[in-house]
Each structure stands twice: as C-alpha cells, then as structure tokens.
Chains A and B, each alone.
Chain A
Amino acid sequence: MSKKQKKTLIRIITAAVVFAAGIAMGFVFPESEDVTSPLIYVRTGALLAAYLIAGFDVLLKAVHNIMHGQVFDENFLMMIASIGAVVIGEYSEGAAVMIFYQTGELFQSVAVGKSRKSISDMMDINPEFANVERNGETIEVEPDEVSVGETVVIKPGERVPLDGEVIFGASGLNTAALTGESAPRGVTVGDEVISGCVNTDGLLKIRVTKPYSDSTVAKILELVENSSESKAKTENFITRFARVYTPIVVIAAVLLAVLPSVIIGLSKGDWQWGTWVYRALTFLVVSCPCALVISVPLSYFGGIGGASRHGIMIKGANYLEQLNKAKTFVFDKTGTLTTGSFAVTEKHAEGISDNELLSYCAAAEQISNHPIARSIVAAAKLAGDIPKAENARETAGCGVEAVVDGREIAVGNARLMAKAGARVDETEKAGTVVYCAVDGEYCGYVLVADEIKENSKAALSGLKALGAEKTVMLTGDRSVTADAVANSIGLDEVRSQLLPDGKVTALEEIYAAKPAKSTLVYVGDGMNDAPSLARADVGIAMGGLGSDAAIEAADIVLMNDDIANLPLAVRTARKTHRIVMQNIVFALGVKVAVLALAAFGIGNMWLAVFADVGVSVIAILNAMRCMRISQKNLT
C-alpha cells in the first residue's frame, strides 16, 4: 500500500470507530434518539464527525472541481448524496455511505495498484546495471554509460545489460522474459547475446556491439511503454460514455426527487419530499461510472501483459481489438510458414543406393556456400562421413563437378547434366531438384526444399478453429513449390510467383474481398515486407529478436519466431474482448437494476454503495483474468 492509501485506511478506521460509537449510543441510551434529550447532540455529533472524517476530501475535491468547471464527477455525486442524506436527517446513512464509499475506493485503488504492478513486473526486462571492465577493474555502471566495444562481465543470475558478442565463457541464457521460451539458449565464444536475457550458469564476458539506446531491451521497453498510448475504440467509447452518463443521471435524479413529490402532492395533498429525495440520492450513489472506466483499460493492459509473457509483443490495445475481429489471415511464405532454411526432402537414386547418392552429392557440394549445397552437406553428415573430393570446380548457376573416389561426379541442374553427357529424367517437383551424374551416367536426384515449420499446420488449424475464414499465402516462389506447401499445411489460397511489389497489390485484392466488419492480418518475417505489414489492419512480424526492422514495422511481434503463438495471440484478443464485454454488460446491468430498484423505493443507500464499489471490484478482478492465457486447449 502506498503512503496515501495507508492514510486513507487510518481515516476509514477512525471514522468507522466514531460511527460505531454513535450507533452504539442509540442502543445503550435509547433516549439519545429523542429530540428532547440533550444526548441527541452527542450522538448526532459523533455521526457527523464520522461523516466528515471519512469524507472531507471527497467534499473538498468536489468543491475544487466545481470551481474549475468540472462539475459532474463521482466526488460530486457522493457529495450531493451524502449531504442530502444529512439534510433529510439520515445522519447514520450519510456517514455510512461515505465510509463504505471510501472503503470501496481504497480497495479499488489497492487492486488496481497490485494488478498494475504484477503486469509491469512481468514485463520488466530492464537491466539495472552493467559490470564493465575499465583499466583492469570491473566497475558497476548504468547500462547507458557503457560504450560500444567495451567489455562487460555477466555473472550467473544477472541480466544481460547490452547487446554484444561473447568473448569469454559459455553459459545458458534464459530468454523467457523476451520470448516466453523457458529452455535456456546455449551461448559460447563468438555467439551474439541479446540484452534482457538472464545468464543462468556460467560467467560470461561480452564485447558490447550496440549502445544501450539501440539495444534490444531498450527497443522492447519503448514498445511496451508506448503500447498503452494506442487506445482501443472501446476504451475511448467508455470515456466518452462516462462524460455524458453522469450529467444524465444527475438530471434524472433531480427529476426523481421533484416530479413524483409534486404530482402526488398536488393530486393527494400528501407531500412526501423526504421519500423521493432519499430515492433520488440512492439513485445518485449507484450511478458512478468507475467500474467501467477502470476495468476496460485494465483488461486491455492485462491482455497485453499476459501475451508478453509468451513472447507476444502487442503495440497497443487497438491492435488487440482489431485482432479480435480478424477473419482473413495472409502469410508470407519464406521465414514465416517455412523456416527459410533448406533441407533435403527426397532422395531418388538410380543404380546406386540413396546414401551413396547423398554422399557423392555432398562430397562435391562441400566447396559451395550456396544454401542448397549446405543443406545437402548437412543431410549427408547425419547419414555418415563425407568422402573427400578432388579437383572440385563450381559453375555458377549450374552446379559443381569434382572427382570423388576416382570417379567423375557432376552435381547440379539439368544444364550441367547435359554438359556432363548424362541423360536426365526431368522431374517437376516442389522445391529445387539437384541431379547427380557419376562418370557421365545419370544416377538420380536429391530434392531440396525450404522446410515447413513444425507448427505451421497446427497454427493454421488453430486459426480455423478460432473462426478464421480465409488463409492466404503470398510468395515469389514457383507455383509448384507454393502449392505443395499450401496443400501440406492446409491454406485456402495461394498467390505464387509474385514480384516483390506484387505482394501489396495482391494484399489489396484480398483486402477488398474480406468479409465486412472483419479485419485482415498479415503475418511476415519483417524482412522486406514492411509495406504489407503496414497495409494490413494488423501486421504481425515473426522473430523480433535481433531484428529491429520487424519490431518497428509490425503492430504485433512474435518474439520467439514460433508461429504457434499466432493462434495464442488471437485467443488473447478474443478473451480480452470477452472480458471487456462481460464487464460492460455486468456493470451496466447491475447499475440499471439498482437504479430501477432505487426509483421504486426498494433498496436503500447501502445497497447502492455496494452496487457501486462492489461492481467495480468484481470488474477489476474479472479484468485481471486477461493476464492469464495458457498454451493449453489450443485446437
């Protein structure tokens, strides 16, 4: 509890004690309720004192606000209601209402404070210090005082303060705060480390490669801090709603106090001012819009916080709201649905064994740095040793020729095969076909393709289950390859052989065809698809770690590069939206019900106070549920 909250608590307790004393007097000395008894002054005095102790700041604030032209707010409502109660002689009601109101406000303030703290703790990745080596000594400085090229020592348990390269030691880094991934990432000399991770077991020394202001942690913190600036429409609506709501309620209360009394008074000659004024006051107490005004932003904040725990960075509540309405999902292929790294997916040998084919290919390809060549070498290493190649020569765009075990090997495309004098059965397969000839004799091919991410299929079916109506893949790749990927993971539509600028045009077409009132999500890897990320209602970039471009261009960043987090993000959006709606309906429902009850004289001011603060507290607790999203139950 903050100082201010503690003070309020002491005041409430004091007021409650004085109030209890006043009430007790009524039981012990029944005559103190009698107008003729002098004891009534003591009793009334006690109740009035309790009222003022509990509520003087509310009264002051109401007066202050009125003087500054801010008439209708909750302080005003409480002032009118409680003073009204005192004026019509209901001292105990007035004091009780004020005590309850303050208790509720205090509870609310503590609950909000706690939630705010737990959310910001969760998002706290800020390194507090850096142990920098200067003149042979290790000194502790602020991370932003370290310059590029300096050496920083990171002990186990400490947070990596700046981005850099490991120059000494090996350790596991816990990236959970950034990616939600709990398995530590092993790093050793030469590896890059990212600020914000926590060093788990070994001592590391790193050479700083980026100043603090450009480091990953600074970028992410900026993103998180700015996230509450982009407000959701619902949030803005609630604020506007509160602005018109309060005056309307006050006017209604005035009418309720005056009209019935006058009508009944005139027709029956029986003036019941007290009853109707009391009902109108009850009406006022219940009408505070606090529950909505606090719980709606808190829900969004909680949703953003909860998502960040899974490595999903959301730049603002408005994107969460947009994502909730998403029905069309457009994907980039390479790096998003596929890993962007190549792998051998098929071996077709003729006359020799599959393994021989692979090892011949790998032996020749060893000299090449082409990603396709590297993937063949990697696959062969898994299968066994790779024989030595002699006299290897690479023909750019064709392939490699070499001598392996005394045999002339040619590995490459059909053109190279023709040159080697081998007759090839050309195949039309998805991916890149690498043919192989031994001593001028065709002996099969290896198919290399971009690997589909393990989770792509599950992610797409997850989206379908969450109501995605259309999933589209955009790619510059050949249509055979693209169709094969699309079929294996279950996409609805493919646009292949797109030139780089064709992606945005294709996106526009899909945009025009999307269902009304729904939104379009574009998922890319943040490399050269910034225009598409910006054009979509929600641009989601994969793999924010180390990619500033992705962090900047996207509205939502999946930090850990795991596409399975996409349905999770959508679920977060759905859940947050659901909770916001629940709170709006619940709060308004209870208020309308109690308003109606108050207007007909059922229920009293106590009920009204409970309806006001009780609803707020329940709405806050409900809003806190937004923080909890589990990976479980993902269909």
Chain B
Amino acid sequence: MKKTFKLTDLDCANCAAKMEDAIKKIDGVENASVSFMTQKMTIEADDARFDDVVKEAVRVCKKVEPDCEIVLK
C-alpha cells in the first residue's frame, strides 16, 4: 500500500532528508519519500503492517524534527 501524508511546519530541507532516511530504515517499509517542497510524505509498505509502520514513522520523525507534525487522516 502506498499512502501520502501532509506535513506541517517542515522547515528545513535537511531535516526532510533525515526523516526520509529514518523512515526508510523502519522494518516493513518498501519505499518512503519526504518532500520538503510539497510538504508531503509518501510511505510504501506492507498492507498488513501499514498502521504500525505509520506509527513508527511518526515517532522517528518526531525524533528528527520535533516541530514537524504529520497530518494523519
């Protein structure tokens, strides 16, 4: 499954790159991309574990950039 999330207050391109790296390292993630320009994050992961993966992604992103919020719909 592939899903896109909106990000708010993602202020630095460097952090976006770091977030992307961190998400890619999460177990079960096939591909991930964080775009500083469109303020969007795309995660591609196993259907079964998708929710867990997203939770984990939120956690690692907070670690990299505490200001940045991921809008979960």
Q: Within B1-29, which residues are at the interface with A (CB < 8 Å)?
A: 4, 9, 11-14, 17-18
Question: Is B49 in contact with chain A by the CB < 8 A criterion?
Answer: no
The interface on chain B, measured as residues whose beta carbon lies within 8 A of the other chain's beta carbons, has a size of: 20
Contact, CB under 8 Å: A70 / B37 = no
A120 lies within 8 A of chain B by Cβ: yes
**Given A61-B66, A293-B13, A294-B13: A70 and B18 within 8 A (CB)?**
yes
Q: With CB as the reference atom, state the residue of chain A lying closest to B31.
A: A229
Contact of A301 with B by CB under 8 A: yes
Give the CA-CA distance A60 to B3 in the complex, in Å.
32
In contact, A297 and B13 (Cβ under 8 angstroms)? yes
Number of residue pairs A-B, CB distance < 8 angstroms = 53
Residue A219 CB within 8 A of the other chain: no
Interface majority SS on A: helix, strand, loop or mixed? helix
Q: Main SS of the interface on chain B?
A: mixed
Which B residues contact A (CB, under 8 angstroms)? 4, 9, 11-14, 17-18, 33, 35-40, 42, 63-64, 66-67
Interface contact A293-B35, CB-CB below 8 Å: no
Question: Which residues in B have their C-beta under 8 angstroms from that of A228?
Answer: 33, 35, 37-38, 40
Is A307 engaged at the interface, CB distance under 8 Å to the other chain? no
Q: Which residues of B contact A119 (CB under 8 A)?
A: 37
Distance in angstroms from A108 CB to nearest chain B CB is 9
A residues neighboring B (CB under 8 Å): 2, 4, 61, 64-65, 68, 70, 73-74, 109, 116, 119-120, 225-226, 228-229, 231, 239, 242, 289-290, 293-294, 297-298, 301
CB distance from B39 to the nearest CB of A (A): 7
| CB–CB B14/A229 < 8 A | no
CB distance from A483 to the nearest CB of B (A): 47
Whether B37 contacts A225 by the Cβ 8 Å rule is no
Q: Per a CB cutoff under 8 Å, which of B4, B33, B64 touches A68?
A: B64
Whole-angstrom CA separation of A61 from B66 in the bound complex: 8
Query: Is A297's CB under 8 angstroms from B4's CB?
Result: no
A242 interface neighbour in B14, B39, B40, Cβ under 8 Å:
B14
Which residues from A are CB-within-8-Å of B12?
74, 290, 293-294
| Distance (whole angstroms) from the CB of A228 to the closest CB of chain B | 4
Closest 9 CB pairs of A and B: A228-B35, A239-B17, A301-B37, A229-B33, A293-B13, A68-B63, A293-B14, A294-B13, A228-B38
Taking A4-B9, A61-B66, A68-B64 as contacts, is the C-beta distance between A289 and B37 under 8 angstroms? no
| Nearest CB of chain B from residue A295's CB, rounded to whole Å | 9
- Shortest CB distance B25–A (Å): 13
Indicate the member of B14, B39, B40, B67 with the most A CB atoms within 10 Å.
B14
